[in-house]
Amino acid sequence: MSAPKQSQSSKAAVIPTKPATANESGFEKITEVPLEFIKEGTTFINKCTKPDKKEYIQIIRAVGTGFLVMGVIGYLVKLIHIPIRHLITV
């Protein structure tokens, strides 16, 4: 049996890093990480696309539903704790 194929978008980009050599200065070692971060960041930004109208509406609905659910949970917790607080302080 062969392994299931993965799509290109699900594969993580693996950038090989070179091992530090004895003649490499400390400054080069320190600047390697930020430069690699900037390179990976620009690659990520270039792959990003703006959502179309349908996708944008879907995101707005999901976020709105999340706000609504968290608000209801917070309100219910407050309703439950108000009588308990008054019982404790009496």
Calpha distance 43→37 (Å, rounded): 10
> Is 3 within a domain?
no
Reported confidence tier of residue 89, pLDDT bands at 50, 70, 90: confident
Q: Round the average pLDDT of the chain to a whole number and report it.
A: 81
Residue 46 lies in a domain: yes
Asked if residue 17 belongs to a domain, the reply is: no
* Assigned domain for 77 exists: yes
- Alpha-carbon distance 80 to 77, whole Å? 5
Residue 46: domain span: 22-89
Q: What digits encode the pLDDT tens for the residues 2-12?
A: 555 554 554 55
Total tally of structural domains belonging to the chain: 1
- Record the pTM: 0.48
